[in-house]
Amino acid sequence: MLGVSGIVGGGQFILAPSGRLIGISPTLLANSPFESYLVPGLILFSILGVFPLVVVYGLFRRKRWAWPAAIAVGVALVVWVLVEGVVIGFGKRLQYPHLVQGVVIVGLAVLPSVRAALR
Instruction: Supply the mean pLDDT for the chain.
Output: 91
Query: Angle CA(64)–CA(67)–CA(4) in degrees, nearest 5?
Result: 115
Which 3 state secondary structure label does DSSP give 37? Answer: coil
In this predicted structure, what is the pLDDT of residue 117? 78
Q: pLDDT at residue 116 above 70?
A: yes
**Whole-number Å distance between alpha carbons of 109 and 92:** 27
Q: pLDDT at residue 40 above 90?
A: yes
Q: pLDDT at residue 92 above 70?
A: no
Q: Are the beta carbons of 77 and 101 closer than 8 angstroms? A: yes
* pLDDT, tens digit, 9 for 90 and up, residues 10-30: 999 999 999 999 888 888 888
Listed by start position, the domains of the chain span 1-117
**Whole-number Å distance between alpha carbons of 3 and 9:** 10
- The mean per-residue pLDDT over the stretch 101-118 comes to 88
